[in-house]
Amino acid sequence: MRIEKDCVGKLEVPDDALYGIHSLRAAGNFPITEEKVDPLLIESYIQIKKASITANYGAKATDVIKYNTIVDACDYLLEHPSPESFITPAIQGGAGTSTNMNVNEVIANVAMKLHPDVFIHPNDDVNQAQSTNDTYPTAGKLAMIKRLPKLTGEINRLIEILDELSKKFQFTIKLGRTQLQDAVPTTYGKTFHAYASLFRRDLKRINSAENELKTVSMGGTAIGTGTNTTKYYRDHIVDEINKITGFDLKQDEDLIDAVQNTDHFVAFSSSLKTLAVDLSKFSNDLRLLGSGPQSGLNELILPKRQAGSSIMPNKVNPVIPEVVNQVAFEVIGFDATVTAASEAGQLELNAFEPIMFKSILTAEVHLARAIETLVDHCLDGIDVNVKQCLDDVRKSAVTATVLSPILGYNKTTELIKTATKEHETVPNLLIQNHILSPEKVKQLFSPEYLVNGES
């Protein structure tokens, strides 16, 4: 064991540990969850440290030896991740300082292992011209942006398969329903196309919110005033990050605002929440339209994935939509957490970014996996019970809505009442009572006219 000292006192640290006293204190202080800080956030942090020493070297604020040593350490950790060295819990007090110091300590110790003749201090050298308050939110934004392609890729897959289903069932007539009551007919082509349009909007919303994440507070240090930085550093730090990451981040025009306010995270979380709400509504529809089969709507035939009961033989449940529902509930809860955490910020800094980052980064992962599961195990293989849909349309008296422009609202209402009471179809009543000619009835109640009206 080695003895390390900080402002609180001394502590024993394992000899072979790359972390130091600050990391160890955090691990002991926050035994809330066994989940550690997200690896993508750590990777992003290391990239920020590499960019920072490069900007400091360009500003002539550090020498070439320390510059090369720290760059070597960062490159080593980026190529050889050391998850056992990053021990700070995902939920932590201190506005992310524990994570920043964990990264500082690991980089410093790796640097001195690679270059034993050079001394690197976690604060003075690795953390030079930085604060947790500008590096931590920047690392969080980088991590969220890096995680996004998987999610947007799955949303695109969802849209593509819905477009395919729309074309496949473009002429399959079905009964529309409003408030769970019979409404005018439509087609499954139109239904699936509407779902695709819904998720296209979600994708657009998420991409727009992602752009807000690309404005960062680097160079602001503690409260946005740039304390302990040089002008060269402030002018070049974001460019250096972009060179390393390949992103197009921009420095916020008002760094004080950027350090203390977290509305970018609220906006991004909200876009994920909206996607979750839409996925849940879609999953509810799938479950309802596939209900039965004997005594339900029985319009959709969902792929059979597993036995649904330990007591009822041959019962199969809509387990894929159900699991998507549950992910949606979780993400809606994450968004509530992000909202509350952002609102609770005070004065020059929000102390609650750790829980925001944990919530958002987890939401991105779970949403992507949920959509992947939905596409692969439900939509790929879903079918429409065409006969059931056509029978429902033929039996429903509400299809007589097409008669209102011809017979008037009141007379059409009486026809629907009679048809419902006598268990007769409206077309038969029209012909039997010589209200309309058989040819006109056939035209008005044809699937094409019921769905599209007179062209």
- Packing angle between helix 39-58 and helix 97-114, nearest 10 degrees? 70
Roughly how many angstroms between the first and final C-alpha of the chain, as a whole number?
85
Compute the distance between CA of residue 262 and CA of residue 74 in angstroms, rounded to an integer. Answer: 28
CB within 8 Å of 353: residues ≥ 6 apart: 95, 96, 136, 137, 140, 262, 265, 341
Which neighbouring-strand residues pair with 186? 174
**Residues 221, 227: contact at Cβ < 8 Å?**
yes
Active-site amino acid positions: 309
Judge contact between 98 and 22, C-beta under 8 A.
yes
**Amino acid (1-letter code) at residue 193:** H
Which residue carries 């977290």 as its tokens? 262
Question: Is 371:327 a contact under the CB 8 Å cutoff?
Answer: no
Element of type H or E holding 263: helix 263-289
- β partners of residue 187: 173
* Chain centre distance of CA 13: 38
Residue 217 C-alpha from the chain's centroid: 23
DSSP 164: H
Residue type, 320: I
Q: Find out whether 112 and 18 touch, Cβ atoms under 8 Å.
A: no
Radius of gyration of the chain (CA): 30
Give the three-state DSSP class for 25: helix
Asked if 363 and 47 count as a contact pair (C-beta separation under 8 A), the reply is no
